[in-house]
């Protein structure tokens, strides 16, 4: 097959982010949660421009010869991206202005603009400006090539069109004011006109009002907010020599001053003003992104709730996992039987306790952990440092190339080293993405190995937001190979024995996946029932997509649940007729990866840290974990079955990228995340 149906990854990602935006207009979503989804959409888009769009711009500058995927020219991708984003931004503005704002008014929350303020409120914002804002606004008058102020990444500025009062027919003057949303709350509560009403104003509007006092010699002809985002890629992934830590630190310092990847501006800005700014800041048409009156809409994360719990999701408090939380010894419980958890439905306390108990257990001699992303305040990291004080040997492998967590990981690494933890850092040319921890005990002179394997990071905060599986095991098939993997990370010496149970990136992972798919093809060709179910965050690698297409053509039934990027095109006649795909976007971020292969009735089920993207399959250390316990297999199948039946939050993925909601069997409402919570609750009450 020379040409296969394939959706370029960034175009597919934009379809995913649109699914996030859909939540902001879904009637079933509580009002304040809709605002949260506006923030998520905006935060996602900012990172996308800082990384992916910046990369395409660099390719355009360098020429097509540097483009790895020659089937998509960087110019064409960039053009499509900007067109799609512009359409989405219009819809974003419409959702906020025509749907969310009126709904807030009905609930007694009014967002005021300057023209609608009464005298008391005007006096309030002037005093607020003088007391809390004035030191931060950094006014500057632009002067063509002579005055080119540096715009900080992702900071909002008010761009002012001024006219000198003494020469009203003279040339216009342009100026900038910083909107200090990092120093002052973006949403300011005003004195209210009614006891039953909360009135708020954007900080942006206060700066607009204050501009007349900042530039008293000028008439303000217009004011428009702008924002510049800068290239955030460190360009160190392929470094094989030198001090990688030093290169990361140096690159982090450059990230804040990297080249512009996007100028966001108020679409109502006059063309002459926009042209002037493009010239001053050396911006091309590829860098432009028109939006509404306000930018940095990720600030909606801090939108005030005024205690209105009825406008938020019903609480689903994490459920205690009694086998580990209510036991005298977590290690004895794990030794008796593998323990399997599903976050955030289950509390993360069991994972934290695993480390805290290990830190004080006199029989524990060693603790080992892989750190990819970690919370700023982490009881797990504190437990590791306590373990050192108690005489344990503690090792941590820290991936310092985890994008946007590089600085935090470096800081944790230095802190752990100061406490006496043996720290190993990134491997040149590879990212280590496996989720693994090991505890070694000596009991009556005999070593015992306990291992924790997961689809998610050791991050207490995201454990309450991301859905992930976690497995505690004493099974020697898994513990021995986990030790082998960690020894490789510490020594960089390849294991002498092959991995037979775990699938490990750079060793047997690709072969394992290919063999599993080929086995289903073989069974289908033999007339046997053959099927594959995959739950992933992203599916992008061309070679594995080709193999899935081949499986479909041979009669293998394939069901996909893909949250984000899906370059595979389901349902194409003669190519992917036997493939269906849905995506679920709901209150929790779907993050767990699961692979289920029918295997002629002897199902093989795996959880994994790996998505099926080229970067995961070829450029990372990932882990595929077989599920051996029949109870755990049954639990996973039950959860996946519910997700496949979801008819409230699942979208159909197809070539058209319309993200149509799946409403199969409308007589029985199935919202998989809510169903899963109550399944876990019932199981815990047994």
Please state the rounded mean pLDDT for residues 637-646: 97
Residue 67 is predicted with a pLDDT of: 47
More confident site: 534 or 283: 534
Q: Which of 136-150, 158-172, 632-646 has the lowest mean pLDDT?
A: 136-150
pLDDT of 244 > 70? The answer is: no
Confidence of residue 51 (pLDDT cuts 50, 70, 90): confident
**Domains of the chain by start residue, with CATH:** 9-311 (3.30.1840.10), 322-497 (3.30.870.10), 504-685 (3.30.870.10)
Rounded Cα distance between 583 and 649, Å, is 8
Cα–Cα nearest to 385, from 358, 350, 406: 358
Please state the rounded mean pLDDT for residues 331-341: 97
What is the DSSP code string of 210-248?
A: HHHHHSTTEEEEEEEEEEEEE------TT--SS-HHHHH
Cβ(263)–Cβ(274) under 8 Å? no
pLDDT of 37 > 90? The answer is: yes
Residue 251 is predicted with a pLDDT of: 59
Averaged pLDDT score across all residues of the chain = 91
Cβ(20)–Cβ(47) under 8 Å? no
Residue 66 is predicted with a pLDDT of: 46
Cβ(140)–Cβ(163) under 8 Å? no
Helical axes 31-48 vs 9-23, angle rounded to 10°: 160
Cβ(424)–Cβ(397) under 8 Å? yes
Which residues are within 8 A (CB) of 162 and not within 5 positions of it... i.e. 6 or more apart?
141, 172, 173, 174, 175, 215, 218, 219, 220, 221
Rounded Cα distance between 474 and 368, Å, is 15
Please state the rounded mean pLDDT for residues 8-26: 96
- The tokens 């009556």 sit on which residue? 444
Rounded Cα distance between 39 and 505, Å, is 34
Number of helices (H), then strands (E), belonging to the chain: the values are 20, 27
- Give pTM, 2 decimals: 0.92
More confident site: 538 or 56: 538
SS percent in the chain: helix, strand, coil, step 5: 40, 20, 35
Cα–Cα nearest to 16, from 41, 50, 47, 38: 41
Rounded Cα distance between 309 and 32, Å, is 9
pLDDT of 239 > 80? The answer is: no
Cβ(474)–Cβ(335) under 8 Å? yes
Confidence of residue 463 (pLDDT cuts 50, 70, 90): very high
Confidence of residue 292 (pLDDT cuts 50, 70, 90): confident
Cα–Cα nearest to 595, from 488, 650, 514, 498: 514
Rounded Cα distance between 66 and 570, Å, is 30
What is the side-by-side order of every strand in the sheet holding 503-504?
Answer: 503-504, 623-626, 604-608, 593-597, 531-536, 557-562, 579-584, 650-652
Residue 404 is predicted with a pLDDT of: 67
Residue 666 is predicted with a pLDDT of: 78
Q: Which of 295, 346, 366, 433 is catalytic?
A: 433
- List of long-range contacts for 188-196, beta carbons under 8 Å, 24+ apart: 188/125, 188/128, 189/304, 190/112, 190/117, 190/121, 190/124, 190/125, 191/120, 191/121, 191/124, 193/118, 196/108
Please state whether the peptide bond connecting residue 344 to the residue before it is cis, i.e. omega within 30 degrees of 0.
yes
Q: Which of 49-53, 470-474, 573-577 has the lowest mean pLDDT?
A: 49-53
Q: Residue 489 corresponds to which tokens in the numbers above?
A: 């990370």
Question: How open is the CA angle 579-581-582, to the nearest 5 degrees?
Answer: 160
Give the dihedral sign, CA 187/191/197/199.
negative
Rounded Cα distance between 183 and 300, Å, is 16
Rounded Cα distance between 527 and 111, Å, is 64
Please state the rounded mean pLDDT for residues 274-281: 89
Rounded Cα distance between 66 and 59, Å, is 7
Strand partners, 453: 436, 471
Please compute Rg for the chain using Cα positions: 27
Rounded Cα distance between 14 and 185, Å, is 30
Helical axes 406-419 vs 379-389, angle rounded to 10°: 20
Model confidence pLDDT, tens digit, residues 183-200: 999 999 999 988 889 999
**433 tagged catalytic:** yes
Rounded Cα distance between 191 and 354, Å, is 50
500-521 residues labelled b (16+ CB within 10 A) or e (exposed): ebbbbbbbbbbebbeebbebbb
Model confidence pLDDT, tens digit, residues 578-609: 999 999 999 999 999 999 999 999 999 999 99
Please state the rounded mean pLDDT for residues 303-331: 95
Which residues are within 8 A (CB) of 300 and not within 5 positions of it... i.e. 6 or more apart?
35, 36, 38, 39, 42
Q: Which of 63-67, 178-182, 256-260, 399-403 has the lowest mean pLDDT?
A: 63-67
Cα 34 to Cα 37, 79, 602, distances in angstroms: 5, 29, 44
Confidence of residue 260 (pLDDT cuts 50, 70, 90): confident
Taken as a whole, the chain contains a residue count of 686
Q: CB-based burial of residue 86 (10 Å sphere; 0-12 exposed, 13-18 middle, 19+ buried)?
A: middle
pLDDT of 111 > 50? The answer is: yes
Please state the rounded mean pLDDT for residues 223-244: 67
Question: How open is the CA angle 140-143-146, to the nearest 5 degrees?
Answer: 105
Q: What is the dihedral of CA 469, 475, 478, 483, to 10 degrees?
A: 110
Model confidence pLDDT, tens digit, residues 471-498: 999 999 999 999 999 999 999 999 999 9
Please state the rounded mean pLDDT for residues 412-428: 91
Task: Indicate the DSSP class of residue 311.
Answer: G
Please state the rounded mean pLDDT for residues 70-98: 90
What is the DSSP code string of 1-61?
A: --S-----HHHHHHHHHHHHHHHTT-TTS-HHHHHHHHHHHHHHHHHHIIIIIHHHHHHHH
Q: Residue 645 corresponds to which tokens in the numbers above?
A: 């039946």
- The tokens 């159909």 sit on which residue? 652
Please state, for a pLDDT cut of 90, what percent of the chain lies above it: 77
Rounded Cα distance between 116 and 201, Å, is 10
Q: Which of 69-83, 155-169, 246-260 has the lowest mean pLDDT?
A: 246-260
Cα 398 to Cα 380, 412, 457, 629, distances in angstroms: 14, 9, 12, 31
Q: Residue 546 corresponds to which tokens in the numbers above?
A: 């080709």
Model confidence pLDDT, tens digit, residues 424-436: 988 888 899 999 9
């Amino acid at each position: 097959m020379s040409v296969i149906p394939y959706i370029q990854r960034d175009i597919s990602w934009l379809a995913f982010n649109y699914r996030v935006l859909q939540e902001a207009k879904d009637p079933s979503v509580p009002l304040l949660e809709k605002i949260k989804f506006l923030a998520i959409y905006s935060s996602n888009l900012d990172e996308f421009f800082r990384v992916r769009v910046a990369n395409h711009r660099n390719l355009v500058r360098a020429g097509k010869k540097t483009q790895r995927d020659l089937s998509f020219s960087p110019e064409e991708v960039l053009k499509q991206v900007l067109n799609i984003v512009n359409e989405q931004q219009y819809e974003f503005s419409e959702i906020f202005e025509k749907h969310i704002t009126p709904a807030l008014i009905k609930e007694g929350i009014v967002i005021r603009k300057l023209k609608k303020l009464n005298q008391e409120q005007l006096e309030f914002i002037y005093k607020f400006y003088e007391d809390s804002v004035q030191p931060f606004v950094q006014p500057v008058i632009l002067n063509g090539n002579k005055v080119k102020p540096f715009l900080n990444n992702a900071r909002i500025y008010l761009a002012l069109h001024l006219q000198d009062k003494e020469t009203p027919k003279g040339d216009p003057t342009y100026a900038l004011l910083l909107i200090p949303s990092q120093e002052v709350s973006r949403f300011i509560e005003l004195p209210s006109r009614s006891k039953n009403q909360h009135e708020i104003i954007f900080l942006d509007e206060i700066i607009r009002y204050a501009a007349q006092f900042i530039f008293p010699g000028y008439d303000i002809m217009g004011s428009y907010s702008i924002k510049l985002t800068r290239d955030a890629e460190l360009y160190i992934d392929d470094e094989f020599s030198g001090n990688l830590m030093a290169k990361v630190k140096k690159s982090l310092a450059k990230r804040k001053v990297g080249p512009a990847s996007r100028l966001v501006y108020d679409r109502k800005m006059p063309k002459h003003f926009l042209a002037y700014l493009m010239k001053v800041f050396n911006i091309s048409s590829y860098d432009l992104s028109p939006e509404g009156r306000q930018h940095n809409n990720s600030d909606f994360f801090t939108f005030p709730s005024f205690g209105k719990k009825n406008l938020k999701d019903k609480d689903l408090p994490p459920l205690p996992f009694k086998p580990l939380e209510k036991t005298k010894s977590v290690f004895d419980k794990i030794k008796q039987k593998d323990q399997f958890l599903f976050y955030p439905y289950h509390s993360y306390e069991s994972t934290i306790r695993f480390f805290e108990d290990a830190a004080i257990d006199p029989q524990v001699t060693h603790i080992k952990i892989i750190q990819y992303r970690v919370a700023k305040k982490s009881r797990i990291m504190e437990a590791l440092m306590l373990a050192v004080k108690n005489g344990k040997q503690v090792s941590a492998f820290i991936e310092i190339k985890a994008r946007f967590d590089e600085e935090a990981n470096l800081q944790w690494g230095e802190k752990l080293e100061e406490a006496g933890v043996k720290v190993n850092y990134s491997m040149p040319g590879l990212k280590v993405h496996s989720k693994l921890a090991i505890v070694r005990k000596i009991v009556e002179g005999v070593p015992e190995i306990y291992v924790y394997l997961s689809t998610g990071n050791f991050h207490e905060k995201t454990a309450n937001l991301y859905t992930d599986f976690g497995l505690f095991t004493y099974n020697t098939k898994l513990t021995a190979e986990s030790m082998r993997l960690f020894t490789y990370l510490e020594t960089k010496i390849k294991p002498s024995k092959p991995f037979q149970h775990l699938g490990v990136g750079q060793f047997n992972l690709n072969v394992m996946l290919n063999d599993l798919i080929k086995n289903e093809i073989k069974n289908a060709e033999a007339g046997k029932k053959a099927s594959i179910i995959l739950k992933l965050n992203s599916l992008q690698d061309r070679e594995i997509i080709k193999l899935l297409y081949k499986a479909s053509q041979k009669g293998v039934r394939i069901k996909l649940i893909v949250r984000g990027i899906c370059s595979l095109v389901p349902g194409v006649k003669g190519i992917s007729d036997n493939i269906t795909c849905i995506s679920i976007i709901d209150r929790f971020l779907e993050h767990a990866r699961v692979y289920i292969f029918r295997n002629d009735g002897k199902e093989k089920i795996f959880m994994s840290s790996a998505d099926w993207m080229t970067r995961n399959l070829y450029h990372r250390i990932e882990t595929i974990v077989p599920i051996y316990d029949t109870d755990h297999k049954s639990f996973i199948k039950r959860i996946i079955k519910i997700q496949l039946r979801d008819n409230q939050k699942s979208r159909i993925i197809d070539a058209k990228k319309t993200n149509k909601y799946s409403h199969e069997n409308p007589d029985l409402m199935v919202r998989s995340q809510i169903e899963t919570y109550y399944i876990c609750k019932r199981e815990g009450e047994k």
